[in-house]
Structure 1
């Protein structure tokens, strides 16, 4: 075997060992001082690369180095993004679409301009290069945000907002980055052409991800071999990402969309056992990708960059936080969002792999002042993960986000137990229908499951106090969702000509009243 390949294999084995070690360290010291795993990983990466040269990519020629870094980060990103999309709650995503959309578009533009002008004013670097740095730092990194959100166990709606924004704002920042880069390299700038390019990348990514997701859904419906299910999801993640990139649309968007499409239809395409297997695999893959991506990020950082641009990095991090606070206020205007949630969204805007990937492109192209650009970006990424990452857990605890009372916890456990039993009953029925078991076995096991289901139902029905309020809230939330679906169906029937104008108005008015009543009752419960 080629000696250089052997060295790379050994170094990757060392990366895996470091990843496990970082996870162990984070777990051991998490309770007293709450150090996030991503921070431990990036510090170990710095020790493995710039300090002890255990994993040193600087010996590679520039072209190989660029391709290797791009490949590593692309594979890790598609893993994190697909897993994030698969776990993204579709209804919650649609509910927060306006907030996510503003954060992922206007937020990137405001951040680019704000950071660019601040760096230009302080350093005197040409404005166009400062705007390039602003575009690089505008993306809240999916790998960082997803890792942070999961570790802090934030509420579902808040996590969905953060993961949806961090996944979708990459398209904006990457497009903006290449627009500014083209101006630096002497190409003409056209606002209309740039706007069309953005729309093409966004819609193209959604189209590619949706098409591939729907195709795989159809295959999964007909798939009788559970062993192929995980492989199909792997193929979906890889193909949607790289085919989208090949056609110069957003692979990031395509990958997230594909994961969301599979997740949205999982009740029709995946058995409970298949769903569990897919969930477990992508959770394991997420851990591996997270370890590699942050360890590699650490190896890319140079100590002299971090020390030379430390003060500027601290300032830029706080500028980013202030700008994000303004953006969140704009995006949430008119929405009844808790102040604590706004602060959490502001503080969760970490920078990570995407800025480092973009700055690697700047270095590879030999852009004027690329050392300064790389130094500023590297220091901001490290300090963002250090400052925001280290303080997020105590801040979330202080804000009392995600904390539930014992009665709430007990009620949620009962609901989860009920869902598990129903899934077991459905799985047992499927085995009977597929003639994998006989009636005797079915009746024996189903009797046990039914008894447990009846017992849990009695406990839920007899809920009192806070538990009763939670039950009422669940019922009202379900009513609101069902009424919204029914209104959409009424509209569909009217558009198809099945309902007259008068019938449509009567039905719509009746359903609107029911929806309003349920929504008001839900609001009273808080």
Structure 2
């Protein structure tokens, strides 16, 4: 323990330094983390990090999925649910099938079950990688929502394929009827348990006398409980965490106060950053050990690299084909719900761009490392080292090739320039702020008309709304005035919540305004 602790602390420090360097170079930090981990692994004398395959999902997935569900706009997900659903399930199955057929045909010793196992591992694109890469370029809200929503749900579908393929490899048989029933139970049971547990957790936050630290501690525990309980009933822990996270996120204003929301934002941002950083560093650190395993299996390195490149090409091609198939189906059956494009050329280029966003990452790594070393009969798991190597190279290639070129392609082509010329978010923000001031002015005049006549503090606040946070003298703020101001902030939250029902208003802007209101409430409580 004493030897591994300094190494773990050094890993966290390395993650921070590489992230700062990535920001300076304006590239996605997962790329530098993978390359950095690979270079560090060649340093002699480093301790070997071993993670129990049975724990790899449980350690990393619940908090990563919960935080992603907490951040995404459910309103936007509902708007694009057809495209999100098709990419999260149909495209994942098509990709896994393509990989399975190619692996069965071209990789000696591979069976169809092993091909599906590999396909289930590498089929889901990684939201963290995509989000980190697109942070340096502006993309439409619709495309961002599709990518985020897809990444939430495709983890579940790919892991279901992975689980069934793992059983098929171990038993040597696959019963379609049982698999179909199990699939529906995993999805429906996982969603049901997630919603039930999410409701129970919301009630617990409301009933218990919690403060900000205890609220945050509970939110860290809750995704692990959702995942573990769902898995005990043989349903999908991933679906439980996603559905429970979405349920709780939509009700955050009802069971968390402003202090808890502000503090939780910083805590969760740091936690997820470290977890992601550790995972991407592990990708690079593990690769030399995997190559040693290939030598033990007497598989030439260049041959294994060739298999990995072939699988990567299949993944990209399958996603491209699926993107164009989705566009054609949308144009035929639902032309009114297609993402915005200013011209026919750009409309047909958008699937190409969407297909190029399929970077792999955390979930693929977790699934690959979760393959058991031995099967139930004690025999070594067939081709485990090769599957691990292919997975690692796929992650590396998609991050380096697609990850480095995607921002360049978007900037070079100016693909979305006119979209943002038409949809300026700053105008929307200014419009919402103006409406908020008018709404509060009307609220004060209607409810506190008598008190406004005799209270200089409220008159000052009403006349100088924008400058209230800069006021040097807070002596006029008594408890009554503070209570009225806090009530005004709650009225603003109610107004914004109602405004969020408008499909044309970005939920991201609404959340930014709500966060500013939380900050204002905290300032008032400190006076």
Tell me which interval the TM-score lies in, with the shorter structure as reference length: 0.7 to 0.9
Counterpart residue number, 1:21: 17
Q: Distance in 2 between matches of 1:50 and 1:359?
A: 22
- The alpha-carbon deviation at position 37 of structure 1 amounts to 0.6
Report the CA distance shift for 1:444/1:14 in structure 2 as closer, same or farther (over 3 A). same
Q: Distance in 1 between matches of 2:43 and 2:303?
A: 16
SS of structure 2 residue aligned to 1:372: helix
Matched, 1:325 2:341: no
- 1:42-441 equivalence runs, <5 A: 42-52=34-44, 54-57=46-49, 65-67=50-52, 71=55, 74-128=58-112, 129-150=114-135, 152-222=137-207, 225-302=211-288, 304=291, 308-332=303-327, 333-334=329-330, 335=335, 336-337=338-339, 338=341, 339=347, 340-362=349-371, 364-365=373-374, 366-400=380-414, 403=417, 404-405=420-421, 408=424, 410-415=426-431, 417=433
Q: Distance in 2 between matches of 1:423 and 1:12?
A: 52
Report the CA distance shift for 1:318/1:286 in structure 2 as closer, same or farther (over 3 A). same
- The alpha-carbon deviation at position 147 of structure 1 amounts to 3.7
Unmatched segments (≥5 aa) in structure 1 = 58-64, 433-438, 454-474, 483-526
Counterpart residue number, 2:29: 37
1:81–1:142: 8 Å Cα contact kept in structure 2?
A: no
Report the CA distance shift for 1:288/1:137 in structure 2 as closer, same or farther (over 3 A). same
Normalising to structure 1: TM-score of the pair?
0.73
RMSD: 3.6
Q: Distance in 1 between matches of 2:407 and 2:229?
A: 38
Deviations 1:50-107 (A, max 9, x none): 55453522xxxxxxx342x654553332222111101110111111222122212221
Q: Distance in 2 between matches of 1:291 and 1:117?
A: 33
Q: Distance in 2 between matches of 1:331 and 1:477?
A: 28
- The alpha-carbon deviation at position 422 of structure 1 amounts to 9.3
Report the CA distance shift for 1:189/1:234 in structure 2 as closer, same or farther (over 3 A). same
1:85–1:256: 8 Å Cα contact kept in structure 2?
A: yes
Q: Distance in 2 between matches of 1:22 and 1:415?
A: 39
1:42–1:295: 8 Å Cα contact kept in structure 2?
A: yes
Normalising to structure 2: TM-score of the pair?
0.73
Counterpart residue number, 1:62: none
Unmatched segments (≥5 aa) in structure 2 = 295-300, 342-346, 375-379, 449-454, 470-497, 506-527
- The alpha-carbon deviation at position 399 of structure 1 amounts to 4.7
Stretch deviating more after TM superposition (265-274 or 169-178): 265-274
Q: Distance in 2 between matches of 1:309 and 1:345?
A: 28
Q: Distance in 2 between matches of 1:299 and 1:84?
A: 26
Q: Distance in 2 between matches of 1:401 and 1:75?
A: 39
Counterpart residue number, 1:491: none
Q: Distance in 1 between matches of 2:40 and 2:440?
A: 47
- The alpha-carbon deviation at position 38 of structure 1 amounts to 0.5
